[in-house]
């Protein structure tokens, strides 16, 4: 895929869509196009299991007739399909109800600066090389320890794509991005105890991936340490969320301050703006311009300019997470978060992972979560969990078949520390999080 040729071609198609919609009477229109290709290879038990090449393309058209809105989409980007897709959207709009909050962003909010965020790094790996890498990863896991008994396989994935967005206010822009990953999952058995665990590495640039051997060994080590897990008696105790599961706490926080839940009045943080929701040391910020960031982008899916900003500083909620529609419903202005937050980061403290466990002293380290169990209206929280029991800052034994419970408001307020062992493998970047006390339901 030659991006230098594809981006202008997609931009031309977007312009065709905008012109076609105008000719069919739409008062406003926006169009999004994407095109991409990728390779996925999986090896299991020393053999190649799957090889997949994928190519995809799509267009989505949204038209407005005053306050009536309708959308249509297609995977065919030909001129005839453009006409038919626009015609379909315009036809649907006739039956739509008027919505006073519908419409394009204010023109002054649209992105005008498009810095190079260093998110396009094609990986020139062929099928044979991908197979070799997957086999190396799985071999490292299977040979790590005699108790590794089976494998769910190792996978190598690479994808490169282009997105172009345009609207009738004159905005049009396209950018290319890549995403590569390496993962492995294995099973272990000791006596009657059987466990599985996994590890993965993901990055915009293949050079930033962990080595195949490292990924395999981490997957195996995580599996071995879980063998012969026990349950716990029910109790109240401190809890550490390991960095790779702590992101779920911040994900729930983002949902609670997102426009959709706020205007539906289905959030436990309703009317929490400018109020203390975390301890004073907590700062949570959005960083959409991080180079090679997995969530980096100069604008949201409506074309609104993104910006670096604090959602929480000194523990106080400073901003909601809003699209144009939800902002209008709330009588506020969009925060450039149509499609979600970008590189959400909680500031780390001075403690590494070992220091966080020492600070907890005695309590539960959570390394896996099961189920949903969160009431967004009340904040009540109850989820299945597995992890390790810790005494005097040292891991004692693995635990499973327990439930941890609390209320999200209390959990946020009772955060004691955030570790500097940050997990960078996603759009939410956090270290381990220590919570002062939660309820554990076990035997």
Q: What is the pairing mode between strands 428-429 and 284-286?
A: unpaired
Whether residue 118 is found in the same domain as residue 55 = yes
Tell me whether residue 327 is in a domain: no
* Alpha-carbon torsion (292, 254, 423, 412), positive or negative: positive
Tell me whether residue 131 is in a domain: yes
Tell me the pLDDT band of 2, cut-offs 50, 70 and 90. Answer: low
Whether residue 241 is found in the same domain as residue 146 = no
How many domains, in total, are found in the chain?
2
Element (H, E) at 220: helix 212-224
pLDDT recorded at residue 372: 84
Q: Which pLDDT tens digit goes with each residue over 72-94?
A: 999 999 999 999 999 999 999 99
Whether residue 32 is found in the same domain as residue 8 = yes
Task: Out of 189, 224, 259, pick the residue that ends a domain.
Answer: 224
**45-65 average pLDDT score:** 97
pLDDT recorded at residue 142: 97
Whether residue 93 is found in the same domain as residue 240 = no
Whether residue 358 is found in the same domain as residue 400 = yes
CB 20 within 8 Å of CB 86: yes
Whether residue 240 is found in the same domain as residue 172 = no
Tell me whether residue 215 is in a domain: yes
The percentage of residues in the chain with a pLDDT greater than 90, rounded to a whole number, is: 97
Q: Strands (DSSP E) along 85-224, which ranges?
A: 148-167, 172-190, 193-203
| Joined tokens for residue 349 | 């403290």
Task: Supply the mean pLDDT for the chain.
Answer: 96
Task: Out of 191, 224, 257, pick the residue that ends a domain.
Answer: 224
Q: Which pLDDT tens digit goes with each residue over 369-407?
A: 998 889 999 999 999 999 999 999 999 999 999 999 999
Q: Which pLDDT tens digit goes with each residue over 347-372?
A: 999 999 999 999 999 999 999 999 88
- The interaxial angle of helices 79-93 and 3-23, nearest 10 deg, is 40
Whether residue 104 is found in the same domain as residue 74 = yes
Q: What is the pairing mode between strands 148-167 and 68-74?
A: unpaired
Tell me whether residue 151 is in a domain: yes
Tell me whether residue 408 is in a domain: yes
Residue range(s) defining the domain that contains residue 390: 235-248+348-441
Q: Which pLDDT tens digit goes with each residue over 407-440?
A: 999 999 999 999 999 999 999 999 999 999 999 9
Tell me whether residue 269 is in a domain: no
339 half-sphere exposure, CB direction, 13 A CA radius:
17
CB 402 within 8 Å of CB 231: yes
CB 397 within 8 Å of CB 230: yes
pLDDT recorded at residue 443: 81
Tell me whether residue 326 is in a domain: no
Whether residue 218 is found in the same domain as residue 353 = no
In eight-state DSSP terms, residue 209 is: S
**Separation of alpha carbons 427 and 345, rounded Å:** 8
CATH number at residue 50: 3.30.2290.10
pTM attached to this predicted model: 0.94
| Joined tokens for residue 297 | 């982008």
Whether residue 67 is found in the same domain as residue 186 = yes
Q: Which residues lie below 8 Å from residue 143, measured CB to CB, with a gap of 6+? A: none
Asked if pLDDT for residue 229 goes beyond 80, the answer is yes
Whether residue 240 is found in the same domain as residue 116 = no
Tell me the pLDDT band of 301, cut-offs 50, 70 and 90. Answer: very high
Task: Out of 173, 192, 224, pick the residue that ends a domain.
Answer: 224
Whether residue 135 is found in the same domain as residue 189 = yes
Phi and psi of 10, rounded to 5°?
-70, -35
Tell me whether residue 401 is in a domain: yes
**159-175 average pLDDT score:** 97
pLDDT recorded at residue 3: 62
pLDDT recorded at residue 8: 87
Whether residue 73 is found in the same domain as residue 199 = yes
- The owner of tokens 């989505």 is 60
Length of the chain: 443
């Amino acid at each position: 895929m030659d991006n230098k040729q594809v981006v202008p071609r997609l931009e031309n198609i977007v312009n065709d869509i905008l012109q076609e919609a105008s000719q069919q009477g739409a008062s406003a229109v926006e169009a999004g196009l994407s095109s991409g290709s990728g390779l996925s290879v999986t090896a299991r038990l020393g053999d190649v299991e799957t090889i997949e090449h994928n190519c995809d393309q799509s267009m989505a058209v949204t038209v407005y007739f005053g306050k009536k809105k309708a959308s249509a989409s297609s995977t065919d980007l030909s001129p005839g399909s453009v006409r038919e897709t626009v015609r379909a959207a315009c036809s649907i709009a006739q039956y739509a109800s008027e919505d006073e909050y519908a419409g394009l962003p204010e023109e002054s909010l649209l992105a005008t600066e498009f810095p190079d965020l260093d998110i396009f790094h094609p990986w020139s790996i062929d099928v044979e090389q991908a197979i070799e890498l997957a086999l190396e990863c799985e071999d490292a896991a299977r040979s790590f320890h005699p108790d590794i008994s089976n494998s769910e396989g190792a996978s190598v994935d690479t994808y490169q794509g282009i997105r172009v967005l345009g609207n009738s206010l004159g905005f049009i822009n396209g950018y290319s991005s890549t995403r590569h990953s390496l993962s492995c999952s294995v099973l272990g058995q000791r006596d009657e105890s059987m466990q599985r665990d996994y590890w993965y590495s993901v990055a915009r640039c293949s050079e930033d991936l962990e080595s195949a051997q490292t990924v395999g060994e981490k997957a195996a080590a995580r599996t071995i340490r879980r063998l012969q897990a026990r349950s716990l008696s029910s109790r109240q105790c401190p809890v550490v969320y390991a960095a790779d599961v702590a992101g779920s706490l911040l994900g729930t926080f983002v949902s609670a301050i997102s426009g959709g839940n706020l205007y539906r009045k289905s959030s436990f943080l309703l009317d929490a703006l400018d109020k203390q929701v975390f301890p004073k040391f907590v700062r949570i910020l959005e960083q959409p311009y991080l180079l090679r960031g997995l969530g980096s982008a100069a604008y949201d899916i409506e074309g609104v300019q993104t910006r670096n900003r604090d959602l929480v500083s000194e523990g106080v909620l400073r901003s909601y997470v809003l699209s144009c529609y939800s902002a209008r419903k709330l009588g506020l202005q969009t925060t450039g978060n149509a499609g979600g937050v970008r590189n959400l980061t909680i500031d780390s403290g001075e403690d590494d992972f070992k220091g966080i466990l020492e600070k907890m002293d005695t309590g539960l380290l959570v390394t896996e979560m099961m189920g949903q169990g969160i009431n967004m209206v009340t904040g009540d929280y109850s989820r299945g969990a597995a992890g390790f029991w810790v005494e005097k800052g040292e891991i004692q034994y693995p635990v499973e078949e327990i439930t941890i419970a609390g209320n999200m408001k209390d959990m946020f307020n009772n955060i004691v520390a955030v570790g500097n062992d940050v997990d960078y493998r996603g759009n939410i970047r956090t270290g381990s999080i220590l919570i002062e006390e939660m309820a554990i339901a076990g035997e």
